[in-house]
Structure 1
Amino acid sequence: MSRTLAAVLFASASIFITTPANVVFAETPAIAQQASATIHYRSTKIDGVNVFYREAGPADGPVVVLLHGFPTSSHMFRNLIPLLADRYRVIAPDYPGFGQSDAPDHTKFEYSFGHYADIVDTLLTKLGAAKYSMYLMDYGAPIGYRLALKHPDRVTGMIVQNGNAYDEGIRDFWNPIRAYWKSGATKDREALSVLVAPETTKFQYTDGVKDLTRISPDNWVHDQALLDRPGNKDIQLDLFYDYRTNLPLYPQFQAFFRDRKPPTLIVWGKNDKIFPEEGAHPYLRDLPDAEFHLLDTGHFALEDKLDEMAPLIRSFLDRKIAK
């Protein structure tokens, strides 16, 4: 692709960039270079549960780990994986209780962000992924950052998409969840049941999106069917409560950013009410060289902005990660 064509492709996107110096128009293939990738759908047993993961790309390629958010699974990366797998070894797990992974009873299995980080760590070790970049979205952010604290030398780069690590990013949406954190009361726990209701699942995909015809309804139908499995509501409510344990780790996450300075691409849906734009800007305090892009979309940005995000992600990985 010529530099001129790349510039046209990037310029045609509705992207807001804080500092022009952080923009690089590299000669990077974008959507047009979609690989004919074979995606493998696998499971492995960790801590007594079957953990499902998608894997694609060359076995000796640089590893990119895709960490999903709530209430979805590695399904959210189904369209991105083929655009990376020609050059990169892509690994996208489902956490227990999500997607195709097992969902044991919440009284018999610890549903916590610390446990999830340990499970992902074990998975990557089993797969021989000694170094990796991470795509961090929603729940995937604290899981990935906990992993980074355990193994800072293994992290080669970060792609941050609506994944929080700063107090500024916990705003009004979180008030009912904060009430549950404070009280631990059954009434406050049950008040959060609305967060696993069909209307909320659909809201997460559609709110802040300008053209709803770009959002497949299969997304919320798929996610809701899994949320509605017997016992899954309690799994999710346990995780809402455990999310409080991530906030005290924010200073450690931020110290990792400052001390290690991993190459970072921030691609953030600026209309997101769950992890709003206010949580995106503070990253630049600790990662001033991060490439920063606000996209005119909502929470699940990949669903309607893949054509803008894929060139940014490929360019970033090709310049900063690939050897």
Structure 2
Amino acid sequence: MEAVTPIRRIKVGGVNVYYEHYQNPGKQTIVCVHGFLSSAFSFRKLIPLLRDRYDIIALDLPPFGQSEKSRTFRYTYQNLAMLIIGLLEHLQVKQAALVGHSMGGQISLSAALLKPELFSKIVLLCSSGYLKRSHPTIIFGTHLPYFHLYIKRWLSKEGVMKNLLNVVHNKSLIDEEMIDGYGKPFQDEQIFKAMTKFIRHREGDLQSEELKKMNKPALLIWGEEDKVVPVKIGERLHHDLPDSKLYSLRETGHLVPEERPEFVSERIAEFITE
């Protein structure tokens, strides 16, 4: 274990971003990008299996995790992708591989399209795909003064435990550490107002015509029991991405970095070495 804490903070794109940097000079850099309602915490089991072989950066995308819950930042996928690019440029990273889970997969793809020379390969773990922008009625609702209270009520009603039960297949994996790790960021009241803007600004996912332009090798890993992003989305992405391979895992849900960290780490290592 390194003596220096991996925890860092930086202001990029006008917003304060929390990230963890597991430094390994001279090694290939991997950037871990989490999904909706999540944070770098979701890679907690994957990082220890890869940190001896790679230089690893895991960030909290605003407004999630420990990053700023800004009410002025425009939460588009493109702007979030630009934050990743800005962070890597600040750290003077010349080239990196992207590992995106769920929504983080779409943001990773956007980053690779925006600055292709910065990224070598892309790993998509149960990546979101082909989602359209929020319905106009919902976007209109985000302009109402108390919409953030609706979001808070919805999340409170669902609860961390219910959400976790929806994203993992093996329910025995859920423990107090997991519940606390995924629930703690939502104790900050500011996140609900920031999420209002996130829902308002978010574009739809990249569509087929954009994905077919992707010239980066892509590794896709899916849980066959994924209730959030069904494996058929992975199959469709595999079809549209010109240079891709797909693994589907039995008895595995949406949270593959938590459920199958050994398998995922092995496939990532093979993929990056190729």
Say yes or no: TM over 0.5: yes
In structure 2, which of residues 1, 15, 26 is the aligned counterpart of residue 60 of structure 1? 26
Partner secondary structure for residue 235 of structure 2: coil
Map 1:202-241 to 2 at 5 A: 202-207=161-166, 209-241=168-200
Contact 1:180 1:189 (8 Å CA) reproduced: no
Structure 2 residue 265 is matched with structure 1 residue 313: no
Contact 2:225 2:252 (8 Å CA) reproduced: yes
Change (3 A) 1:67 1:210: closer
**Quick one: distance in 2 between partners of 1:86 and 1:237?**
39
TM-score, scaled relative to structure 1: 0.74
Contact 1:131 1:154 (8 Å CA) reproduced: yes
Q: Which residue of 2 aligns with 1:117?
A: 81
Structure 2 residue 103 is matched with structure 1 residue 146: no
Q: Deviation at 1:298?
A: 1.8
Contact 1:165 1:254 (8 Å CA) reproduced: no
Amino acid at match of 2:226: D
Q: Deviation at 1:92?
A: 0.9
Map 1:152-191 to 2 at 5 A: 152-166=116-130, 178=135, 180-181=137-138, 184=141, 186=144
Structure 2: gaps (5+ residues): none
**Quick one: distance in 1 between partners of 2:162 and 2:223?**
14
Q: Which residue of 1 aligns with 2:213?
A: 256
Structure 2 residue 210 is matched with structure 1 residue 246: no
Contact 2:149 2:192 (8 Å CA) reproduced: no
Contact 2:224 2:231 (8 Å CA) reproduced: yes
TM-score, scaled relative to structure 2: 0.85
Contact 1:67 1:135 (8 Å CA) reproduced: yes
**Quick one: distance in 2 between partners of 1:195 and 1:303?**
25
Contact 1:71 1:201 (8 Å CA) reproduced: no
Task: From the CA coordinates, give the structure whose radius of gyration is larger.
Answer: 1
How many corresponding residue pairs?
A: 270
In structure 1, which of residues 193, 197, 221 is the aligned counterpart of residue 156 of structure 2? 197
Computed over aligned residues only, the root mean square deviation of the Cα atoms, in angstroms, reads 2.7
Compare 127-136 and 272-281 and name the one that shifted more: 272-281
Q: Deviation at 1:272?
A: 2.3
Compare 206-215 and 275-284 and name the one that shifted more: 206-215
Structure 1: gaps (5+ residues): 1-35
Contact 2:8 2:18 (8 Å CA) reproduced: yes
Map 1:245-284 to 2 at 5 A: 245-247=203-205, 249-251=206-208, 253-257=210-214, 260=215, 262-284=216-238
**Quick one: distance in 2 between partners of 1:305 and 1:195?**
29
Change (3 A) 1:210 1:112: closer
Q: Report percent identity of matched pairs.
A: 24
Structure 2 residue 3 is matched with structure 1 residue 44: no
Partner secondary structure for residue 72 of structure 1: coil
Q: Which residue of 2 aligns with 1:85?
A: 51
